Structure 1
Amino acid sequence: MRVGIAALVLAYVLSQFYRAFLAVLSPVLAADIGATAENLASASGLWFLAFALMQIPVGEALDRIGPRLTTAGLLAMGGIGAAVFAMATGPGAINVAMVLIGMGCAPVLMAAYYIFARSFSPAVFGTLAGVVIGIGSLGNIAASLPLSLAVEAIGWRGAMWTLCIVTFVTAAAIWLLVRDPERVIHTSKGSLLDLLRMPALWPILIMMAACYAPAAGLRGLWAGPYLTDVFQADAERIGFVTLIMGLAMVAGNFAYGPLDRILGSRKWLVFGGNALAVACLLGLYAHPGGPGIMPVVLLAGVGFFGASFPMVMAHGRAFLPPHLIGRGVTLINLFGIGAAGIMQILTGRLHHALTPSATVINSAPPSTPYAALFAFYAALLTAGLVVYLLSKDRTD
């Protein structure tokens, strides 16, 4: 059980890497294959959407055939996607690669959560969920300064071929080491519709859709173009700032994990943390070209306070019947990842609409499109908090 979970955590490190690495590669991909910020926003959005659309069949597969076969088979597809990326000669190939990688990463975290929900006490689910994401966020860190150094040493294609090999090896380790929990025998089959008919889940689903997108979008994509356009940052500086944001997200995941037991509430922990994330986004909106380390501190604040994913998942898991655990956790995940993908595409279009072409004389500062992105994310998260006020608190 322990070595199997360790293999799943390693796979989740890769999943976190793949959702965040485009921010660091944006300058070199623009120079080598002509991929613009909008192209990469679409590619990142396709990763999230492919990941999200796979959640329904993944949930069914977890309940019916177990996490071992589900995860190993799909992660191997992610390895194929990494190979396609390494051979890309234009934005179209990047899109195909990101779809394959998104599909491959889709079952990883949910497989671990499925095992936790079936094999461990419900009281520690939130803590275990936070630990997995906290450790997995090392992939977020690897997709910052370490990736920029690797690109300098072996090139971006060499880095992607290395990741391709690591992904296939990890899939093989899951095949060999993961053990499926005992199946739940239930008189009624149950379905996704049974979950959607539960009123208690809906405010949590909406909150998941709102809370994950800002930190994921800024860290995974927009930090790179923002730092380049507004502060003329080079790849090393982008790697350093995204490293700080990644470390903040790791710390946030570990901090959220045990706090529900300390505070005796999941709802108000999630609400308070995300309200502080809104404050950081509004600070970035008000001062997008702020002096000194202010933008870095505020980006780190979004990462830290926005790391509520495992606690929102734990809140929703508390309402799930045992025979629908797999489909339940993947449904909650679908709302988070799917919304993040849609927001990547929408913010890409927003950025494009507010960025003047090279032939247009415009007096607006380069921070203008990024201020709009920060305002957009703040509004999204605020709307989620309003709906989340209707949720029912529940701890195990």
Structure 2
Amino acid sequence: MRLTIVFLLAAYVLSQFYRVFLAVLTPVLGQALGMTPEQLALALGLWFAAFAAMQIPVGNALDRHGPRRTTALLLGLGGAGGAAAFALAQGPGGVYLAMALLGFGCSPVLMAGYYVVAHAFRPQMFSILAAALLGGGSLGNILGAAPMAAAVEAWGWRAAMWGLMAVTVVIAVGLWIFARDPERAPVPAGPKGKGRLVDVLRNPAFLLILPIAFTGQAASSGIRGAWAGLWADQVHGADSLTIGHITLAMSLAMVVGTFAYGPADRVLGSHKRVVLWGNICLCIALACLVAAPAMSVLWGAVALSAVGAFGSSYPVILAHGRGYFAPHMIGRGMTVLNLMSIGGVAAAQFGSAPLFRAVSAGGDPVFAYRMLFLFFLLPVVVSLVFYLFSADKPAAES
């Protein structure tokens, strides 16, 4: 399984890269293709929408066909095809198509890694290993910041995308040749073995986790993917290199936060306490941005980094929900949570674009970004109210 983990980790690095690299291309695509901030946000939203739409089919494919074929085929077709479409784009429509294809291609990667972890390791290790996979893959967040900006400066954005297409093909072929599927859990006889999706959704305690899954990543992923660069550009007139440094800082914070969340639930003995306090801190960081959206570039980078770090609770949320899945339903159960998480990011992106356009009509970018950050803050507050009533399942049990 060693090569399987290596190639799945490499694929997840690509997946993380493809969801954030638009931020450093903000000035370039504006000049080359005439794309507006709202169009860039829409393009990122299409990535998340395509990703989310594939989660239920991916869950079925993981349980029935295993992670090797599922990931290699989707990444090869969608990931490589999307990178090529991006390199060939002549306008916003081409970028929309490319981002949707990239979301389609990246859709099975993380869940395939979690599927392997869930079947090959003890349940008590799930949150730690899930966080390690998520944190290691977050190298893509880093590569999508300053390194991507440097590559675009050196070779141009189209050449950079052709290079990414080649890398994607290599990883997809490597998965097909070298990866191995873990031993599958036995399927119970009778009605319990049918594995219907409704069986995952019958537990009221599990349903109370869904709101925080929906909002938990929306702020960190949405702001990092599209709005951090635009904030620096429109409020402070930052250039591509400065935007690269700000997004790099936020990306590093997301990596640190992910690794910190993993063992935190083992220390506190509760998934719920970790998720609850982490997201309260996320709300405080967003509230600072709401209160002072015109803060200096330095303090803005600090606040955005705090959003990235505290908005990385997803592995613990997934571990919390993992305790409610039967072994033969792990693929479908985890993809329900992933659907909620990615769907929340997509909804935030689709909602943030028209909101920003409306509040920008007065020509005051400070007010516009205050409303934008408030838009990301309020859903987290509401989801925490629901999460307060969820069952506090001990970390050792899940």
TM-score range normalised by the length of the shorter chain: over 0.9
Deviation, structure 1 residue 201: 1.2
1:274 aligned to which of 268, 276, 279: 279
CA distance in 2, matches of 1:181, 1:157: 38
Question: Aligned residue for 2:70?
Answer: 70
1:377 and 2:382 matched: no
Aligned equivalents of 1:175 and 1:167: distance in 2?
13
In structure 2, C-alpha distance between the alignment counterparts of 1:27 and 1:293, rounded to whole Å: 21
Per-residue CA distance 1:203-242 (angstroms, 9 max, x = gap)? 1111110111000011011011110000000000000000
Match of 2:296, SS state, is: coil
Q: Match for residue 290 of structure 1? A: 295
Report the Cα distance in structure 1 between the residues aligned to 2:352 and 2:40, rounded to whole angstroms.
11
- TM-score normalised by length of structure 1: 0.97
Q: Distance in 1 between matches of 2:289 and 2:343?
A: 25
Determine if contact 2:119/2:184 at 8 Å carries over to the other structure. Answer: no
User: Deviations along 1:160-214, whole A, 9 cap, x unmatched?
Assistant: 1111111111101111121111222321221111111121211111111011100
Count how many residue pairs are aligned between Structure 1 and Structure 2: 390
In 2, Cα distance between equivalents of 1:26 and 1:203:
37
CA contact (8 A) 2:232 2:297 kept: no
Q: Could you tell me which of 233, 236, 243 is aligned with 2:241?
A: 236
Structure 1 residue 382, shift from structure 2 partner: 0.5
The aligned counterpart of 2:266 is 261
Aligned match of 1:321: 326
User: Post-superposition shift, 1:26?
Assistant: 1.0
Equivalent residue letter for 1:25 = L
Where structure 1 has 5 or more consecutive residues not aligned to the other structure, the ranges are 357-361
Counterpart secondary structure, 1:252: helix
Counterpart mapping for 1:29-44 below 5 A = 29-44=29-44
Amino acid at match of 2:366: S
SS of residue matched to 2:217: helix
Deviation for aligned residue 1:292: 5.5
Aligned 8 A contact 2:149 2:241 in 1: yes
| Equivalent AA in structure 1 for residue 229 of structure 2 | G
Distance across 1 between alignment mates of 2:332 and 2:213: 16
1-side partners of 2:74 and 2:205: how far apart?
32
> 1:365: how far off?
3.1
Instruction: Supply the AA of the counterpart residue of 2:276.
Output: F
The aligned counterpart of 1:138 is: 139
Partner of 1:173: 174
| Per-residue CA distance 1:253-311 (angstroms, 9 max, x = gap) | 00000111111111011110110010000000100001352111100000011110111
> Which range moves more in the overlay, 193-202 or 140-149?
193-202
Aligned to 2:108: 107
Structure 2 alignment gaps of length 5 or more: none
CA contact (8 A) 2:135 2:258 kept: yes
**1:388 alignment partner in structure 2:** 387
Given residue 144 of structure 2, which amino acid in structure 1 is its aligned partner?
Answer: A
SS at match of 2:199: helix
SS at match of 1:179: coil
Q: Could you tell me which residue of structure 2 aligns to residue 185 of structure 1?
A: 186
Query: Are 1:303 and 2:303 an aligned pair?
Result: no
